[in-house]
Amino acid sequence: MDPESLRERAASALLAARDRTRLLTTCVEEPDLVAQHSPLMSPLVWDLAHIGNQEEQWLLRTVGGRDALRPDIDSVYDAFEHPRAERPSLPLLPPAEAHGYVSDVRDRVLDILEHTPLRGGPLLDSGFAFGMIAQHEQQHDETMLITHQLRRGPAVLTEAEPLIAPEDDILPSEVLVPGGPFTMGSSAEPWALDNERPAHRRLVRSFLIDTTPVSNGAYQRFIEDGGYDDPRWWAADGWAYVREHGLRAPLFWRHEGSQWLRRRFGVTEAVPPDEPVLHVSWYEADAYARWAGRRLPTEAEWEKAARHDPADGRAMRYPWGDEDPTPAHANLGQRHLRPAPIGSYPDGQSPLGVRQLIGDVWEWTASDFLPYPGFVAFPYREYSEVFFGDRYKVLRGGSFAVDPVACRGTFRNWDLPVRRQIFSGFRTARDADPAAGV
């Protein structure tokens, strides 16, 4: 892009993120902003000021070379210095002061964006630092939306528009992905984060993958078949966790009479059987897959299904091609407060016909979160490198709570295998017959 187009793109991404942050922090009263709704989450007011502090440190001070506005709060809003459980006890900015702080930072940053050449180093090239901060804010917006889901009380959020019912397509239950090499990761996506880099060749054998994510109805059959009572389906750590915490169903589900109900952003409703299952841990996803005689796809398999075009061997940015997501492609950006029904978004399917790979639910994969060959931490180790290893599992694809700026075919998310409060689901895979390919 030319510099002015880059500036426009960066400003648009920053302003869109701020609109969402404002919505998530003004729809409740001050007691809900300062409360900790779960020990797994920060108070909403901590996320708000942390967003501003990261923007100040990277864009105001580092890129703009300006004097620090609030160096006294750097430690308070350092995510690595203070785990979430202890953040309510910190000397946090009160809500009004936090709003004023983030607004002041943003006004100065927009001035810096207007006058900074978007070239001359890794942070400046293609406006990377501005894109990084827009993604960071949107990631915290998703985190705050999780906090809203955990919060007890009446509904305060509304959906921007109704979901479009899926077409009456008769879809196959699974799709064959031919074996062979493909390009994984990216070296060219201008705002790709360090763990997505560099592009490299991977070889996977032929496999079959679910056409759509696993539905609530399918998962309910696992429950009804005694899935939570049978250790055969569970990894040892997962079985111990299920027993210790008495898990019987996805988070926010409860059985009442003859039906399953769920709580969704302050509303109690019947669990819709045709939506992707949501709020399941990696252990639950893995157990379901074993029960079904299948497995979770590896991260490489997921990305090949999502990006590889078998017609020319090219790696695309998204399943549908290289164009940015639109509402016709995927359920993103908090336009809805729920996943779309199974089979939605035919315009967003991959060349092989796999649907809903982007948006709706984060999809657990079988893979540990590890660096790609040639990985270089940038611009700081704490974004990715400190999480590498076998403790964290990779999720792919984004959810309805993810903004398009923080979602692409190469984007990698990760979390502990016990986590259920996140907007996580999954799809399953299986090995192909050896006669089908590599």
Query: Annotated binding residue at 13?
Result: no
User: Do residues 44 and 157 touch, judged by C-beta distance below 8 A?
Assistant: no
Handedness of CA 253, 157, 363, 305 (dihedral sign): positive
Strands 424-425 and 362-369: parallel
Q: ω before 198 within 30° of 0 (cis)?
A: yes
Query: Annotated binding residue at 308?
Result: no
Q: What are phi and psi of 59, to 5 degrees?
A: -95, -40
How far is the C-alpha of 24 from the C-alpha of 18, rounded, in Å?
10
H helix intervals, 95-127: 95-115
Helix/strand/coil for 260: strand
Query: Annotated binding residue at 340?
Result: no
Residue type, 106: R
Query: Annotated binding residue at 87?
Result: yes
Q: Residue 178: exposed, middle, or buried by beta-carbon count in 10 A (0-12, 13-18, 19+)?
A: middle
Length of the chain equals 438
Q: Greatest CA span in the chain, whole angstroms?
A: 65
Query: Annotated binding residue at 4?
Result: no
Q: How far is CA 267 from CA 101, 243, 261, 420, in A?
A: 33, 29, 10, 19
Q: How far is CA 413 from CA 90, 138, 369, 388, 418, in A?
A: 28, 13, 9, 12, 15
Query: Annotated binding residue at 37?
Result: no
Hey, which bits of 73-194 come out as E strands? Answer: 174-177, 180-184
How far is the C-alpha of 114 from the C-alpha of 210, rounded, in Å?
46
Q: Is 353 left (phi over 0), alpha (psi -120 to 50) or beta?
A: left
How far is the C-alpha of 339 from the C-alpha of 278, rounded, in Å?
8
Query: What secondary structure letter does DSSP report for 391?
Result: E
**Secondary structure (DSSP) of 274-332:** TSBP-S--HHHHHHHHHHTT-BPPPHHHHHHHHHEETTTTEEPSBTTBSSPP-TTT-B-
Query: Annotated binding residue at 141?
Result: no
Query: Annotated binding residue at 324?
Result: no
Query: Annotated binding residue at 86?
Result: yes
Q: Which residues are annotated as a binding site?
A: 50, 84-87, 136, 140, 415, 419
Q: Which residues are annotated as a binding site for Fe cation?
A: 50, 136, 140
Q: Which residues are annotated as a binding site for gamma-L-glutamyl-L-cysteine?
A: 84-87, 415, 419
